[in-house]
Amino acid sequence: MESLLLKNGLIVTMNRNNEVIERGNLYIEDGKILEIGEKTQKKADIELDCNYQIIFPGFICAHTHLYSALLRGAPMKITPPSDFTQNLQRIWWTMDEALSLEDAYTSTLYAVHELALNGVTAYLDTYSGPNSIEGSLDRISKATQEVGSRGVICFEATERRSPEEGIRGLEENRRFIQQNDPQKTLIHGIYCLHASFTVSDDLIHKTNEYAEQTDSFKTIHTSEGMADLHHNLEKYGKRTVERLFDEEFLGPRTALAHAVHINQHEIDLIAQTNSNIAHNPKSNELNAVGIAQIPEMIQKGINIGVGNDGFIYDAIENMRTAYLMHKLNHLNPSQLPTPLQVTQMITINAAQAIGLKDHIGSIEVGKAADFVIFDCTALPTPIHRENVFGHLVYGSFSRRDIKRVIVNGKTIVKNGIHTSLDATQISQQSKESALKLWERLDLTPRIGKRF
């Protein structure tokens, strides 16, 4: 692999001290950061002048469903849902059952390509296709490798149709983890349970056992809607997080997606166990499930990453929503999180929330060379170490300002275009898969002219 030298950039390290280096240099070799500073004597195979450019760690999506891309614009023949449970039953679970292995591949190729164009270099995806379980993670991995991004992937094990199906989902995760070498592919496998209202204690225990055997990360949807909370109260006499705590699912290698309907005691349990939260603000708005108590979690020292839940792939837009919604919710313009804190939520915090904090999320010697580089020549005001987080949050930057996206030392996006993939071809593949999926869902009578 060619060595790389980035020169004269404003480097936002997101390290422990949140250090920002003005006119800094980065030397990369074999995909790793070997030197950071204002001066370097190193010579590289490729040298890039980053004057008037800002170098961030690559953005990280803490929770997504890549396959949801195939449902965009679908002419759903349903009675509009009035709550989240109806949303699952009428839309997502119906779609899940129609997904094929081809859909797993094409949706990933489209979605990860789109994420990369938005500066996202790594993601955590949970796939849910009960009729396309075995081999699904191989297809997702293949597509991600073609894009050149970093992925954390898993199958969403659930017993909503049968206990046997839950085991099959769990075994797909185990198979992939045991057979996959993330050092060669940039793809990490983890374990995933759909939600505590669709899994038994036995499946939770089996997941814990497998994860311990392979030293793997775990994730689960947690109190996204009221159904999860009500199920656990009625069946177990416990709130959702209380049950997960009692069944020993919580811990520093666990990510709880959403965590909307939780109380102070549950927040304390999350903090006590050093569990992680994947906050999905725009999805929570779309599904009208409520607003997570993010300011209260921050005050308890809980690690929070921002995800998109398969809705909006723009990391900056999701971050800004996480910044603004809690101010509105509390009617307090000074309410947490701060610009620095939400930037952490799409970089170092998100890296921790997907189990890769030791590898990515900050610009530090020894970590992987994953960067998103912004051109700041068109900014209306000066930018420097004191105001760089404000510029990012308050609207100075968008996807159009991304100069490069680098993963593992390799440029995969340059000036808004992928360096090796054809966006038109990817879009066409996605459309063909979507059309087949929509036909299986019996949506074709409502489809008009196609483009």
Domain boundaries, the chain: 4-57+363-414, 59-353
pLDDT at 48: 97
Instruction: Give percent of the chain above pLDDT 90.
Output: 94
Other C-beta atoms lying within 10 Å of the C-beta of residue 40: 17
3-state secondary structure (DSSP) of residue 277: strand
Choose the CATH number for 59-353 among 3.40.190.10, 2.60.40.1120, 3.20.20.140, 3.40.50.300: 3.20.20.140
pLDDT band for 304, please (50, 70, 90 cuts): very high
Instruction: Give percent of the chain above pLDDT 70.
Output: 98
pLDDT band for 20, please (50, 70, 90 cuts): very high
pLDDT at 447 over 70: no
Question: Can you list the pairs that 167-176 forms with residues at least 24 positions away whose Cβ atoms lie under 8 Å?
Answer: 167/203, 167/206, 168/133, 168/134, 169/130, 169/133, 170/203, 170/206, 170/207, 170/210, 172/133, 172/134, 172/135, 172/136, 172/137, 173/137, 173/210, 174/210, 174/214, 175/137, 176/137, 176/138, 176/141
- Average pLDDT on 176-200 reads 96
User: Nearest-5° angle of CA 433, CA 436, CA 440?
Assistant: 135
pLDDT at 38: 87
Query: What region, left, alpha or beta, does residue 37 occupy, with left being phi > 0 and alpha being psi -120 to 50 degrees?
Result: left
pLDDT at 329: 97
For 316, how many CA atoms within 13 A lie in the half-sphere containing its CB? 21
pLDDT at 426: 98
Q: Do the beta carbons of residue 62 and residue 124 sit within 8 Å?
A: yes
Choose the CATH number for 4-57+363-414 among 3.90.1300.10, 3.40.50.300, 2.30.40.10, 2.60.120.10: 2.30.40.10
pLDDT at 269 over 80: yes
pLDDT at 451: 55
DSSP element (H, E) containing 12:
strand 4-12
DSSP element (H, E) containing 193:
strand 191-195
pLDDT band for 299, please (50, 70, 90 cuts): very high
pLDDT at 183: 86
Residue type, 374: F
Q: Please give the residue that has the higher pLDDT: either 230 or 80.
A: 230
- Average pLDDT on 65-71 reads 97
- Average pLDDT on 168-181 reads 97
CA-to-CA dists, residue 183 to 57, 88, 368, 443, angstroms? 19, 36, 11, 42
Distance CA 143, CA 126 (A): 15
The DSSP bridge partners found for residue 33 are 28
pLDDT band for 444, please (50, 70, 90 cuts): low
pLDDT in tens, 278-287: 999 999 999 9
For 147, how many CA atoms within 13 A lie in the half-sphere containing its CB? 32
Q: What is the mean pLDDT of the chain?
A: 96
Phi first, then psi, for residue 150 (nearest 5°) are -105, 135
Nearest to 354 by CA among 204, 192, 198, 241: 192
- Tokens linked to 14: 């997101």
pLDDT at 448: 54
- Average pLDDT on 73-79 reads 87
The DSSP bridge partners found for residue 165 are none
pLDDT at 75: 87
- Tokens linked to 212: 């311990």
CA-to-CA dists, residue 420 to 123, 370, 414, angstroms? 20, 17, 10
Q: Do the beta carbons of residue 23 and residue 325 sit within 8 Å?
A: no
3-state secondary structure (DSSP) of residue 181: coil
Distance CA 234, CA 241 (A): 14
pLDDT at 42: 86
pLDDT in tens, 345-387: 999 999 999 999 999 999 999 999 999 999 999 999 999 999 9
User: Nearest-5° angle of CA 316, CA 256, CA 358?
Assistant: 70
Nearest to 106 by CA among 133, 75, 66, 77: 66
CA-to-CA dists, residue 198 to 83, 155, 211, 223, 427, angstroms? 17, 14, 19, 12, 34
Show Cβ contacts of residue 105 under 8 Å, excluding neighbours closer than 6 positions: 139, 140, 142, 143
Rounded to an integer, what is the distance from CA 92 to the centroid of its chain? 19
Q: Do the beta carbons of residue 258 and residue 222 sit within 8 Å?
A: yes
pLDDT at 445 over 80: no
Distance CA 429, CA 357 (A): 34
Of the chain, the end-to-end C-alpha distance in Å amounts to 40
The alpha helices in 273-413, defined as continuous H runs, are 281-287, 294-299, 315-330, 339-345, 348-353, 388-393
Distance CA 337, CA 44 (A): 39
pLDDT at 360: 98
pLDDT at 24: 96
Distance CA 359, CA 258 (A): 24
